[in-house]
Structure 1
Amino acid sequence: MKNFKFLTGIFLILTAFAFTSCENEPIDSALNLDDFGGGNSGPAVFKADFSGSTWTATATQAVISGNFITISAIRPNGEGFGFLIDASATGTYPANTNLLAYTPAGSEYGYWSTNFDNPEENTGSITITNINTTNNTISGTFNFKGYWSDTTVSSILPVQFTNGEFTNIPFITQGQTGDTFYAKVGGSEFVDVDILAITTQIGAQEFISVAAQDADLNSMTVSVRSSLGPGTYNITGNTATDLVQAIYDFDGNDYNAVSGSVTIVSKTATRIKGTFSYVTNGTTPFTVTEGAFDVEY
């Protein structure tokens, strides 16, 4: 369940796919899908049945990285599907231990493939049927039972998504992007295999969160308030007031930063570059040094 913990931590309260995943750029309904990889063997199609009708996307994208496959599909009004799958090859994967989600237009919440009251519930599956490395396209099928992600609301019933299909969705690989993440933990390099950079809601504040995971499924997340500009901001361990936060997940346990700082070197509407160092809580605190990131968000 460690990968799922990492996914939910970085995917939490995602707005309708105005996000980057595995170092990719935000989806744009005006994109020329051929730009993601020439020679598509057919048109990109993403559709699913729910609530008595068939939903069809107008724009799609996918990323295949070290540990994950991400797939996004939206309509012009912002509603859409987003999948983060703990996989890098064809096969069938359970919905409840991955993230399959549908977000309605204008909502920061959506229908997720996990029953938070019963995480072991079999809510469906996603099958990757083909990864075409010549045309850079991915295809497959899916179905899942989606539970409303705002767990404080109990009146919204789950939705069944059926006959899900995605065909010839253009993908890029992690190696084709220019985003970077670096840090040392206790003097040893944290070697990332995946990077996720998104805008998330933490309490009442919007943050830009940059997360990385290594081959042993340990992860590191650095978050800064979206309103911040270039400068250095201290970490005190008070998550209610700190402008920046950091977490190191080691061996399935979260260790929160209680001291340190994050420096925003530069920031635009779509990209952020910075450095960081911090010390965590715990019986034996972790010391993170030489941290640096340069990512799209």
Structure 2
Amino acid sequence: MKVFKSKLQLVVLFFAVLFTSCTYEPVDGTVETVPGGNTASGVFKADFSGNTWTAKETQAIISGNFIEIAAVNSKGESFGIVIEGSIAGTYAANVNIVAYTPAGTEYGYWAYNDNNPTENTGSVIITKIDTEKKTISGTFQFKGYWSDTDDPKPAIQFTNGVFKDIPYITQEETTDVFTAKVGSTNFVATDISTAEIDDFITIGALDANFNNLSIVIKNTLGTGSHTITNTLSGNVQGYYEDVNDEYKAISGSITITSKTADRIKGTFNFTTNGTPPFVITEGTFDVEY
């Protein structure tokens, strides 16, 4: 499995911005707000660099065949875990996503060694999923490698990691929609995440094979059609990532059909770079952000 590292990929959504402006709307019409308000929930802590790190806020999602757990402290530092699985058990860190991200950076310490991808860097143990109370508990430990290979830092050992009674929601409880075709194949999202990052609304999804499809929209844009250009300064952009690499849209458009203070709806299509390119068609989104 490829570890996702760039700023616009879903790991950033799961970890660093899960606590900013994301909400999940259950089928019954009530709104569950993820941490970011005044209510702390569950326990999440770990030891590293001679200190014990303790979360101020936590959040977990169980959807499809994925478990996601995120925690942030008062300084904006965060831990994130994404596991390919949905039941209690032991999961290897290097073939899933386990990371610590310092405040103010898109990079972090990941349980993945670029120079030795098969290295046993640690594990996450899900000890209990309480389906009545809707909480998840477990332990973790890992050796974290700095993800910015252009600015290497020594690896850090994270020990005594514990998460206990973290409330979780399921993706089925949301009314968010994100669909598309990749070539002639339907992209079936098992997880949808949205957030505002640096004046952009980022909407992305994973499928069951960890393929990642995402779009980025300048938050000041209104309804109408907006052209994707092959430049760094565009107001809209699209990305697709498979096991081999991440591909950027070089042409296409995103159309916003309706937008409120907390929800955006529209369509998209684009063609990526790469040989051969990926052609994304029939894209639709209707999400809370």
User: What range is the shorter-chain TM-score in?
Assistant: 0.7 to 0.9
Contact 1:183 1:190 in 2 (8 A): yes
- Structure 1 Cα separation of the partners of residues 147 and 108 of structure 2: 6
- Structure 1 Cα separation of the partners of residues 257 and 288 of structure 2: 14
Q: Which ranges in structure 2 are unaligned for 5 or more consecutive residues?
A: 26-32
The 5 A counterparts of 1:1-297 are 1=1, 4-5=3-4, 9-12=9-12, 15=16, 17-18=18-19, 26-31=34-39, 33=41, 44-154=42-152, 156-186=153-183, 189-199=186-196, 207-236=200-229, 238-249=230-241, 252=244, 254-267=246-259, 270-281=262-273, 285-297=277-289
- Structure 1 Cα separation of the partners of residues 44 and 243 of structure 2: 36
The structural deviation recorded for 1:121 is 2.5
- Structure 1 Cα separation of the partners of residues 56 and 181 of structure 2: 42
Aligned equivalent of 1:36: none
- Structure 2 Cα separation of the partners of residues 32 and 142 of structure 1: 21
Tell me the percent identity: 51
Partner amino acid, structure 1, of 2:205:
A
Partner amino acid, structure 2, of 1:232:
S
The structural deviation recorded for 1:169 is 0.8
The root-mean-square deviation of aligned C-alpha atoms, in Å, is 3.2
Aligned residues: 280
The structural deviation recorded for 1:70 is 0.8
Contact 1:16 1:80 in 2 (8 A): no
- Structure 2 Cα separation of the partners of residues 103 and 125 of structure 1: 18
CA gap of 1:286–1:100, structure 2 versus 1, over 3 A, is closer
- Structure 2 Cα separation of the partners of residues 217 and 74 of structure 1: 24
Partner amino acid, structure 2, of 1:272:
I
- Structure 2 Cα separation of the partners of residues 146 and 126 of structure 1: 13
Aligned equivalent of 2:28: none
CA gap of 1:169–1:125, structure 2 versus 1, over 3 A, is same
- Structure 2 Cα separation of the partners of residues 217 and 21 of structure 1: 21
CA gap of 1:228–1:164, structure 2 versus 1, over 3 A, is same
CA gap of 1:117–1:266, structure 2 versus 1, over 3 A, is farther
Contact 1:16 1:78 in 2 (8 A): no
- Structure 2 Cα separation of the partners of residues 109 and 220 of structure 1: 20
Aligned equivalent of 2:29: none
TM score, norm. by length of structure 1: 0.79
Q: Which deviates more, 86-95 or 97-106? A: 97-106
The structural deviation recorded for 1:48 is 1.0
Q: Which deviates more, 105-114 or 144-153? A: 105-114
CA gap of 1:162–1:131, structure 2 versus 1, over 3 A, is same
CA gap of 1:32–1:278, structure 2 versus 1, over 3 A, is same
SS of corresponding position for 1:11? helix
Contact 2:99 2:111 in 1 (8 A): yes
Contact 2:125 2:138 in 1 (8 A): yes
CA gap of 1:81–1:280, structure 2 versus 1, over 3 A, is closer
SS of corresponding position for 1:192? coil
Contact 2:24 2:173 in 1 (8 A): no
